[in-house]
Amino acid sequence: MYINFGGFVPISTVDWRGRAACTVFLRGCPARCFYCHNVDLQGGEDLRDADEIIAMIRSSRTVAGAVVFSGGEPTLQGPALLHLAAAARTMGLSVGLHTNGIFPGVLEDLLDRHLVDMVALDIKTTWERYDDLLGLAAADAVKRSLAACRRAKTDGSLVSCQIVVTLFRGREDNLPSIAEAAGDLDLVLQQGVAAGFVPLTRQELEAAAAPLRRSVLIRTREDGEVGYDPEQKPFS
């Protein structure tokens, strides 16, 4: 089996909160988010035999207890992703996935086969604005992925699920409806960085989160990832 390979990080402590993981980047993504930081991985081709990538993962086992599949969009290569995740399982590794959720069938397969322990699912904007932002019909697919994650989290087959929101100045009004869609799943607010936007500061992200009256994780390039709970920390 050949896999369109994007890259490999032997050890990472930022791709899965609290875990030491190796990260496999799979190439290719049909979305065109204006802020994409992995533009080089949206397309192109670097075909590698699956065994070569499995060997990379195996080489990290002494320092990593998990593997995270990221991209690009890893679920674009469904059979390859299932194959790699199953191989990681046989090594005794936990499996994480970063996904935009636009291929819900692949995510459902992973969940049904208990091949994934952590999903970080992007919800990029309101459902009404979704298709415009990504440049393709995606809202219904992401809703289905979200429902699959919620089911698996509820029945205990998915250990961890984070809803990841990349927030830009001037688009803070998207947040309440995204948070409503996320429900009781963990919510991560990520500082959006793109040409033409002054990034929101940590304090501004906290201000956007305060009305939600729930705990969130906030990621900025200045402070890394920090927790914020409006019930415990007075906002000033």
What is the contact surface with ligand SF4 in residues (CB under 6 A)? 29, 31-33, 36, 38, 42, 71-73, 100
Cα 236 from Cα 146, distance rounded (Å): 33
Q: How far apart are CA 214 and CA 231, in angstroms?
A: 7
- Note whether 68 and 97 are within 8 A (CB): yes
- Buried-exposed string 19-48: b where 16+ CB fall within 10 A, e elsewhere: bebbbbbbbbbbbebeeeebeebbeeeeeb
Q: Got the DSSP string for 43-91?
A: S---EEEHHHHHHHHHHTTTT-SEEEEEES-GGGGHHHHHHHHHHHHHT
Least Å distance, CB 102 to ligand SF4, is 8
Looking at the Cβ atoms of 28 and 230, the one nearer to ligand SF4 is: 28
- CB of 69 vs ligand SF4, minimal distance in Å: 13
CB of 106 to ligand SF4, least distance (A): 14
Q: Find tokens 């402070």 and name the residue.
A: 223
- For the bound state, the minimum distance from the C-beta of residue 36 to ligand SF4, rounded and expressed in Å, comes to 3
In angstroms, give the least distance from the CB of 84 to ligand SF4. 18
Task: Kindly tell me which of 88 and 123 has the beta carbon lying closer to ligand SF4.
Answer: 123
Please identify, using beta-carbon distances, which residue of 15 and 73 lies nearer to ligand SF4: 73
* Closer CB to ligand SF4, 72 or 104, in the complex: 72
How many Å apart are CA 104 and CA 106, to the nearest integer?
Answer: 5
User: Smallest gap, in angstroms, from Cβ of residue 41 to ligand SF4?
Assistant: 6
Q: Which is nearer to ligand SF4, 24 or 212 (CB)?
A: 24
Residue placing its CB nearer to ligand SF4 in the complex, 16 or 25: 25
